[in-house]
Amino acid sequence: MTLKIRSMTLAEVQIALNWAAQEGWNPGLYDAEPFYKADPDGFLLAELDEQPIGCISVVRYSQKFGFIGLYIVQPEWRGKGYGLKLWQTAWQQFVSRLDADASIGLDGVLAREATYRQAGFVPAYRHVRHLHQPDGSAQHPDWVIPLNQLPLAEILRYDAELFPASRSQFLESWLQMPESAAYGVVEQNRLVGYGVIRRCVQGFKVCPLFSDSLEIAEAILQALIVKAGTEPVFIDIPDVHPALTSLKQRYALEPMFTCVRMYWGQVPTLPVDRIFGATTLELG
């Protein structure tokens, strides 16, 4: 049997997302296009005699930063060495596209943390996925505005303070997904917080929630919850966030599962206290 590892087309990215749904990762229904636009060369498919059996994403945001995700081998093909070959091929290709001093991030399941440590990754903190079950009483604060009222340049300026690299191609598509909403707060003509919520296989997911303060974050979160109606809302919150306990109490957040954010190379210095919710666990 012949193993072939090749780049995915845009249409094939949906295969990876379907597998992610089978794993219980609850991807967005419209993730494929913005994911692919982030880096069209960053998605690899493993085929055994032309049958897809595995995938991985190795998205390069810049010469200095990339992110690994969607590392999946179909259950019936696990334990046969195909996953390792896929990882090794993807890694060699990835590092050849990055500077020698680049940082690479990933969100790994806890069961594989030791494996990633052996590969040179170090843990930074954990993301805990929480569930909020709206009761339909959320109100949209009038000072929270649709993000499309702002120039993309201002959104990118703010986002660059909270993500290790510029991601203009990704965000331009991400902010225009069907069945999604994006809101922000502006003070003195500058963005001081923004959030996105998107339709997922199950319910909705906040993706991300960035804010300069808890007060602003909660206002944006209220607006996002309104979009979900009474459907479940999921949010991935860093376990080191100082407001985590407060948010869990106020919104009756129920922990669902945990993964570990890890980095290879230099660990980016980010203001985690302003990251109330991660964008994705697949692309950072």
Mark whether 133 and 251 lie in a shared domain: yes
Mark whether 60 and 150 lie in a shared domain: no
Task: Tell me, yes or no, whether 270 lies in a domain.
Answer: no
Does this model's pTM top 0.85? My answer is: yes
**High-pLDDT (> 70) share of the chain, %:** 100
Residue 1 pLDDT greater than 90, yes or no? no
Rounded Cα distance between 89 and 92, Å, is 5
Cα separations in angstroms, 1 against 10, 49, 82, 150: 26, 6, 11, 53
Mark whether 92 and 212 lie in a shared domain: no
221-251: pLDDT as tens digits: 999 999 999 999 999 999 999 999 999 999 9
Mark whether 120 and 143 lie in a shared domain: no
| Domain count for the chain | 2
Task: Tell me, yes or no, whether 273 lies in a domain.
Answer: no
Mark whether 140 and 153 lie in a shared domain: yes
Mark whether 139 and 121 lie in a shared domain: no
Which structural domain, as residue segments, surrounds residue 103? 3-127
Instruction: Please name the residue that has the structure tokens 């949209």.
Output: 140
Mark whether 26 and 112 lie in a shared domain: yes
266 within 8 A of 103, measured Cβ to Cβ = yes
Task: Tell me, yes or no, whether 274 lies in a domain.
Answer: no
Q: In whole numbers, what is the pLDDT of the chain averaged over residues?
A: 97
Question: Any idea what the CATH number is for the domain that residue 46 is in?
Answer: 3.40.630.30
